[in-house]
Structure 1
């Protein structure tokens, strides 16, 4: 391999045949990958890859993946929460470039959410403030910083603010999800921004979303029909991760932007369980710590990569290994037959 290639790509991979927009890395020639299978009537897992686990690229650790987005030219953008923005080959996942991210003063970010805007610039959240910044195509320069309502900044819980970011169909509305409720709230908030005539974004409606008990929102991405796909995630020591995929509908939900606190009686976003990923077939995946299903890890990233036969959505997920020997950087290919 060349100097710019990933070192120590692991030989243990389990993948089904999937579209070029998703994973196409294959396992050892002598071992057939386990068959894909259903996680629920709506969701099936078609493969996984540990190829990037504990690797480096151009001297940068490839891991801590907290967000994914489809990029131009059939590539993927992958965001590390240690202030690194990777470009990955959409077929093989091989890194093609990496850019260090920083704020306006050159300090690193707790970067968690990612959107590739229609002009190719990157919108990146940081949990610290919380904040959303726009970066140029190189990732080297901050072009803009979106206004964030003071209530979200003043009452966000530490390390539990803007975890997810997505652009709704049509490109006019941006949505960020809070990982946990604000201090004093009973539910999570989903904040939106509307694109202005100049191309920037201004704060708009806000909605309440009730995550399951002991779970937070680790990622949100828009489906082509305008509904949201929401990843809820939690961790219990000695047991492992809980990861559930929901479809959520904002129509009919009440605008909570003027509410000091959100409690009972508020019309929240309606959600429907698509799959508990513990119910997926394990595909023979290894695990370095107790898990209800060895396929699971700390899944934080998600993007829609296209459509398959009969309109099924292709979904790519990735886990954040926290640069820990007990966790894995793992990519998952899922198929959603319906989000209705």
Structure 2
């Protein structure tokens, strides 16, 4: 009886939300533009920084430097994290760690992570990677924690391709997921890179769809043939690729525009580099639901430091560029909204390269755990873990495109209360008026339809 009563209340609320009323209540633009760094989330405290755990520089664990952490993922079943080092098998072997970050309320419980183990990654030969043969960047557990997906940026300057591979929990090679031809580094006779992923700006980001069936990668900056790298005044059209995890087939590809570099350099990097440096790129991606993601955009300028921003983005309404060898520049990019800016937090974020959903917090908020790469001590960086909270009801755990037609409009609203699990936008196990409210709030905060049809 309780379930039927909730269903009746949901239908009653849906009936009250007439199309005319909805059109009057929503401010929908003709699509929406990528937001700049000056924008903030619609509601204050939508995302909050709760705590930061810093690991001292020079820390060694399991006879290798504990550093270079560029990817992190949380396994809800075990409560364990996996963290990938971007060591190119130079400071130690290419590896990942398993660790714990217990919470005490809304803060880290301990002053340091509890390390459970170190696992060396194997190349296709079954042996550890040779020095400079790999550049690990992102890692995710597969469903049930039975294996791991991880990425390498490769080294385009020397023709070494980027890749996405699956590994056993003991580090053994399982298989490689193919990348489209457009990603392969192409060099001219003089050695100039003419196509493919840019050197050190390739597959920094990796996500799994909520059901684990799709692997989603994103390039840090544009492919060489697609457009410029991010500059002080230039955006960069990165590519987000959706791949069927079982078959390896590419399913969709979209353009994600990286914002311009936040600051100009004011001093050179330390020796032995000694040059002025500034860049910006996507350092990680995390799935929110079937169509929406969180991205970490990391900007750096020598003499200034890092500027880290967290964005909410969606494939809804974006052009599918699957199979394109090069972009034309007319494609509609993924819309995005700034959710959190570390520069306003009063905390030095450092070189954030990993993000994962963490455990639920006592107030019902979802937690996010981010990790900063210490670059093995170069330029004063240290390993940091940041704990953030996401306000309940801010992000839908199921896509608002309920009928899957690539748009968000009143057809989705009409289908919501009879859609079963697809209509359970807040993820509480039932479909009711709360989901209708969340759908409405979503379209106000993050309009994805050109108009309500």
Partners of 1:40 and 1:246 in 2: how far apart?
15
Q: 2:252 aligns with which of 205, 210, 218?
A: 205
Q: Is the Cα contact below 8 Å between 2:312 and 2:337 reproduced in 1? A: yes
Partners of 1:315 and 1:238 in 2: how far apart?
29
Cα offset for 1:40? Answer: 5.2
Q: 2:149 aligns with which of 82, 99, 123?
A: 123
Secondary structure, in 3 states, of the residue corresponding to 1:210? strand
Counterpart mapping for 1:150-229 below 5 A: 150-154=181-185, 155-186=196-227, 187-195=237-245, 199-214=246-261, 215-224=280-289, 226-229=291-294
Quick check: 145-154 or 122-131, which moved more?
Answer: 145-154
- CA deviation vs aligned residue, 1:240-290 (integer Å, no higher than 9, x gap): 1111100001111111122232243212111100011111133xxxxxxxx
Query: Residue 138 of structure 2 aligns with which residue?
Result: 113
- CA deviation vs aligned residue, 1:70-119 (integer Å, no higher than 9, x gap): 13511000000112110002315211100111321442521101110014
Query: Residue 121 of structure 2 aligns with which residue?
Result: 101
Counterpart mapping for 1:26-105 below 5 A: 41-51=45-55, 53-71=57-75, 72-82=77-87, 83-91=94-102, 92=110, 93-105=113-125
Partners of 1:161 and 1:175 in 2: how far apart?
13
Q: Is the Cα contact below 8 Å between 1:45 and 1:281 reproduced in 2? A: no
Query: Residue 250 of structure 1 aligns with which residue?
Result: 315
Q: Is the Cα contact below 8 Å between 1:179 and 1:217 reproduced in 2? A: yes
Secondary structure, in 3 states, of the residue corresponding to 1:301? strand
Q: Is the Cα contact below 8 Å between 1:321 and 1:327 reproduced in 2? A: yes
1:259 and 2:327 matched: no
Q: Is the Cα contact below 8 Å between 1:247 and 1:271 reproduced in 2? A: yes
Cα offset for 1:307? Answer: 3.4
Q: Is the Cα contact below 8 Å between 1:52 and 1:62 reproduced in 2? A: no
Cα offset for 1:296? Answer: 2.1
Structure 1: where are the runs of 5+ without partners?
A: 1-38, 283-294
Compute the RMSD of aligned alpha carbons. 1.9
Q: 2:164 aligns with which of 109, 132, 136?
A: 132
Partners of 1:249 and 1:226 in 2: how far apart?
6
Cα offset for 1:225? Answer: 6.6
Secondary structure, in 3 states, of the residue corresponding to 1:272? strand
Partners of 1:43 and 1:161 in 2: how far apart?
28
Aligned length: 286
Partners of 1:42 and 1:80 in 2: how far apart?
31
Q: Is the Cα contact below 8 Å between 1:54 and 1:329 reproduced in 2? A: no
Partners of 1:323 and 1:137 in 2: how far apart?
25
Q: Is the Cα contact below 8 Å between 1:40 and 1:274 reproduced in 2? A: no
Query: Residue 386 of structure 2 aligns with which residue?
Result: 332
Q: 2:175 aligns with which of 115, 138, 144?
A: 144
Query: Residue 14 of structure 1 aligns with which residue?
Result: none
Cα offset for 1:310? Answer: 6.3
- CA deviation vs aligned residue, 1:186-214 (integer Å, no higher than 9, x gap): 3000011113xxx3432221110001013
Partners of 1:89 and 1:335 in 2: how far apart?
18
Q: Is the Cα contact below 8 Å between 1:193 and 1:203 reproduced in 2? A: yes
- CA deviation vs aligned residue, 1:34-66 (integer Å, no higher than 9, x gap): xxxxx9532110000113643111101111000
Secondary structure, in 3 states, of the residue corresponding to 1:273? strand
TM-score (norm 2): 0.60
Q: Which has the higher helix share?
A: 2
Secondary structure, in 3 states, of the residue corresponding to 2:375? coil
Q: Is the Cα contact below 8 Å between 1:185 and 1:263 reproduced in 2? A: yes
